């Protein structure tokens, strides 16, 4: 009779350990961020943003949508 609560308790403990282990993050795997400094991979769209044509198109789209607010 006493084995069923023991098995249930052990199952709950095992499930809790499995759920909590999913939240673990190694301290050496954390990226520390600095303000105004991008530390990710190179962004291929960044080179496109240097062109004045795309900036003008984006500026026009922004004006078309934001002027009614």
- Span 3-55, pLDDT tens digits: 667 888 889 888 888 787 776 666 677 777 788 777 777 877 777 777 788 88
Is the separation of the CB atoms in 31 and 39 below 8 Å? yes
Q: Report pTM.
A: 0.32
* Whole-angstrom distance, CA of residue 69 vs CA of residue 63: 10
Continuous segment of H or E residues that includes residue 6 = helix 3-21
* Tokens 């607010």 sit on residue: 69
Neighbours of 37 (CB within 10 A): 6
Please check the confidence at residue 60 and state whether its pLDDT lies above 80.
yes
Is the separation of the CB atoms in 33 and 39 below 8 Å? yes
């Amino acid at each position: 009779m006493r084995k069923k609560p023991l098995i249930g308790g052990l199952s709950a403990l095992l499930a809790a350990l499995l759920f909590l282990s999913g939240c673990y993050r190694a301290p050496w795997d954390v990226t520390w961020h600095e303000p105004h400094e991008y530390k990710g991979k190179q962004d291929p769209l960044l080179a496109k943003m240097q062109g004045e044509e795309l900036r003008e198109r984006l500026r026009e789209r922004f004006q078309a949508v934001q002027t009614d607010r």
